[in-house]
Structure 1
Amino acid sequence: MKQFERSFEHLLFSSRWLMAPVYLGLVLAMVVLLVKFAKEVLYLLSHILTASGAEMIIGVLSLVDIALIMNLLIIIMFSGYENFVSKMEDLHNHQDRPDWMGHIGFADLKIKLIGSIVAISGIELLKGFMNVGNLDDRELAWMIGIHVTFIFSGLLYAVMDRLQRGGGDGH
């Protein structure tokens, strides 16, 4: 029976590698976002003389939105892989290794995720305000409601996380 238990535990431990293709999929999602980013830049450049200021601002906000999502994907890939699959031992002394890499735990990852979602939602809301003539009151109300929900959820999670950690000075 002890041999079965050890084998089962080894199988469970090895199953973490099932997440590796998921992280590879996130890399592919970044490639898709990079293509979308390039398309948006080309559009902005081709309309630089004819677009209104509001259209340019919305275009730039779209670029910022894509950049935030890509940054979020990097954080999720690096910290998720290191927390749940395997340590990136060979990269510990790499000159370009981000300082936060290897130090973000699951709770920190969730806080960063919620913060990024709030930022992305805020950018979408700002784009909506810049394009308010094309939105009805109901659409705008939904955008505001969703954004406020994200903010409230983020604040609530941060408070719960702080209470769980004992409200120490290090956070």
Structure 2
Amino acid sequence: MSNDSVAKPRGAVKHFESGFEHFLFASRWLMAPIYLGLVVAMGVLLMKFGKEIWHLVTHVTSMDEGQVIVGVLTLVDVSLLMNLLIIIMFSGYENFVSKMEDLHAHADRPDWMGSIGFSDLKIKLIGSMVAISGIELLKAFMNVDILTDRHLAWLVGIHVTFLLSGLIFAIMEKLQGGEH
């Protein structure tokens, strides 16, 4: 058997392998519509924010202090969620789809953009979940008179679960040598 007959099958396998790897690499673009969907979700949240701010402004004189605080906490909640979506969209797109090379010199480009890795994203995600669940818990405590003990217990349990998860994530990152 000559070397030429052995080289041809290896070349075909290498060609197939290269094509398959390019196909896998190109499949990352399937994530692009997901990020577009998150932009649409931000539009929905913006409408929710507008509805809540309108309700606060038009009913402020008839609301008690607790209702105003719950309304403002709802605005903060929506704001935190939208901030989280921006972090997920930008860092997810840059980490998994494509670098935003044309925007590196943009004056409004956030400093963190392009520097948040998957590990950082997990920590920011769990931190945001703890903050959001904390706000929901605070809103519940403002309406403690209309909620059951069981409902409050669930809210506290969920918040504690997020908090413990965040601590475990942070400890795991520290043990792996992360700088967080």
TMscore range, shorter length: over 0.9
- Partner amino acid, structure 2, of 1:82: E
Kindly report structure 1 stretches of 4+ aligned residues shifted beyond 3 Å. none
1:102 aligned onto 2:114: yes
Secondary structure of 1:102's aligned partner = coil
Of 2, 10, 14, the residue aligned with 1:2 is 14
1:26 aligned onto 2:38: yes
Q: TM-score, normalised by structure 1?
A: 0.97
Paired position in structure 2 for 1:12: 24
CA-CA distance at 1:66 after TM superposition:
0.1
1:19-168 equivalence runs, <5 A: 19-165=31-177
Identical-residue share of aligned pairs (%): 70
CA-CA distance at 1:77 after TM superposition:
0.2
Secondary structure of 1:25's aligned partner = helix
Secondary structure of 1:87's aligned partner = coil
CA-CA distance at 1:127 after TM superposition:
0.2
Count of matched residue positions in the alignment of Structure 1 and Structure 2: 168
Secondary structure of 1:121's aligned partner = helix
**Structure 1 unaligned regions, length at least 5:** none
CA-CA distance at 1:83 after TM superposition:
0.2
Q: CA RMSD in A?
A: 0.7
**Structure 2 unaligned regions, length at least 5:** 1-12
- Partner amino acid, structure 2, of 1:96: D
Separation in structure 2 between the aligned mates of residue 134 and residue 109 of structure 1, nearest angstrom: 37
- Partner amino acid, structure 2, of 1:89: E
